[in-house]
Amino acid sequence: MKQDLTSAEPRDPRAANNVSAVKKCRVCGHSIQAFMSFGKQPIANLASPDVAREQFTYELKPALCEACGLLQLIEVPSGEILFNETYPFFTGTSELMIRHFGGWAEQILARLKSVHDPFIVEVGSNDGTFLANVARHGVRHLGVEPAKSVATVARARGVNTQESFFGSETARHIRAAHGPADVIVAANVIAHISSIMDVAAGVAELLKDDGIFTFEAVSLADVIRNTEFDQFYDEHVFTFSVRAVKNLFAQVDLELVDVGRQSTHGGSLRYVLAKKGRLPVTPAVAAALDDERRSGLEDTRTYEAFAQRCSAIRDNLKSVLQQLHARGEPVIGYGATAKSTTVLNYCGIDSRLVEFIVDNTPVKQGRLTPRTRIPIRPPSAFAERNQNYTLLLAWNHRSEIEAKEAAYRTRGGKWIVYIPTVEIV
């Protein structure tokens, strides 16, 4: 596995070998087939002015493995294309996520209070938002992050960061240099790595015998229940169910011992795994598995119905925007998120229907949305436009955004939402 991206020559993303496509499950090898298509999509988190990157597309097609329960994308751009030197997603731009990771870090540090010289490793450590809490306590730690843009910020914050992808080879190097990890953490990144079995092997290799691996990921049950179709984009190779996580990590003798709901990212689950037989399995695991069965996550008809609801949202959302445009009502967007790339391209929404999008990430400002080419402006443009309607693209941060933009609501401004259905609120 590639270990260091800093010296890598940029590759043309249009090259065929920059998209991998599978016909069999990446975990168990069972045949899989897409249950729908969101059409041709560009790279979601795009900040580079490189024309080739803007023209690059792949077909966004999710499929369910009926054997092991793993939902995955058929086609996936390479990791080097997605997590590059201009990767523009910075965790620390969200106050909500800063608080969330601060609380999670405190829980883990409390767990390690009696451990001599504990060692914490974070897979996909981004800008160090989580590990900064660990560093402040003087606890040994290491972030593993392939994207130079965010890794540089993490190091500037005092977070020890290794610029590489995580897998079995990386894990062996880390163990040899630092010893085994008491805790391995991953926040919304395990689902991003197509070589998932190599990641699992790496976790098993690096983890101390009495250590834990804990990670968060978007909940498949929530995605299906709430028709959160924009959770599907290039980085989200997998959308995990409890059943799939249990089956996946059992192959490397890691046992799912606990699971708990989180409100982040539109509904997530926090998983805790340990080496088989080392920790008791909490009742929460069986309860979560039962809930998934009752929700129909193992029934193909559930996904057929989901696809139909997605089509209805697509048609209704575009219709609402077209009606507002016909009335001369300008609409702007809020949040140039990775998820918004799926929405805009699937629904056929461009700058004729959405004038511009505001976003608080500096590297996105002044750019255009991938393929739909809607201008991205700083948050200050939100109040300056004085519009009556705003498309809430960062819907998973709705409470945070509405609190921040209370004056907009006070003066009569309305939000257009589309999850779980299209509404003007």
pTM for the predicted model, two decimal places: 0.88
Average confidence (pLDDT) over 27-48: 89
Q: Which of 347, 342, 340, 344 is nearest to 361 (CA)?
A: 340
Q: CA–CA separation, 216 vs 322, rounded Å?
A: 38
60 versus 51: the higher-pLDDT residue is 60
At residue 223, the pLDDT reads 96
pLDDT confidence bin for 18, thresholds 50/70/90:
confident
* Candidate CATH numbers 3.40.50.720, 2.60.40.420, 3.40.50.1370, 1.20.210.10; the one for domain 301-424: 3.40.50.720
Tokens of 412: 């009569």
Q: What CATH number was assigned to the domain covering residues 1-280?
A: 3.40.50.150
At residue 8, the pLDDT reads 31
The DSSP symbol for 274 reads E
At residue 50, the pLDDT reads 54
Q: Could you tell me if 317 and 418 are in contact, meaning their C-beta atoms sit under 8 angstroms apart?
A: yes
77 versus 104: the higher-pLDDT residue is 104
pLDDT confidence bin for 263, thresholds 50/70/90:
confident
Tokens of 409: 């609501």
At residue 6, the pLDDT reads 27
Does position 226 have pLDDT exceeding 60, yes or no?
A: yes
The beta-strand segments (E) located in 164-224 are 181-187, 207-218
Q: CA–CA separation, 277 vs 319, rounded Å?
A: 55
At residue 34, the pLDDT reads 97
Q: CA–CA separation, 141 vs 161, rounded Å?
A: 9
At residue 259, the pLDDT reads 98
What would the pLDDT profile of 65-83 be if each residue is shown by its tens digit? 999 999 999 999 877 777 7
Average confidence (pLDDT) over 350-376: 93
Average confidence (pLDDT) over 178-205: 95
At residue 147, the pLDDT reads 85
At residue 86, the pLDDT reads 66
Does position 381 have pLDDT exceeding 70, yes or no?
A: yes
The counts of H helices and E strands in the chain are 15, 20
Q: CA–CA separation, 196 vs 27, rounded Å?
A: 7
Average confidence (pLDDT) over 369-389: 94
At residue 78, the pLDDT reads 78
pLDDT confidence bin for 410, thresholds 50/70/90:
very high
Does position 264 have pLDDT exceeding 90, yes or no?
A: no
Mean pLDDT of the chain: 90
Q: Which of 38, 95, 84 is nearest to 340 (CA)?
A: 38
Domain ranges of the chain: 1-280, 301-424
pLDDT confidence bin for 84, thresholds 50/70/90:
low
Query: Which run of H or E residues covers position 174?
Result: helix 168-178
Q: Decide whether 1-280 matches 301-424 in CATH topology.
A: yes
User: What percent of the chain is modeled with pLDDT above 90?
Assistant: 78
Identify the bridge partners of residue 334 per DSSP, sorted by sequence position.
358, 392
- Give the pairing of strands 140-144 and 119-123: parallel
pLDDT confidence bin for 12, thresholds 50/70/90:
very low
Does position 318 have pLDDT exceeding 50, yes or no?
A: yes
At residue 43, the pLDDT reads 86
Q: Which of 101, 95, 160 is nearest to 130 (CA)?
A: 101
At residue 25, the pLDDT reads 97
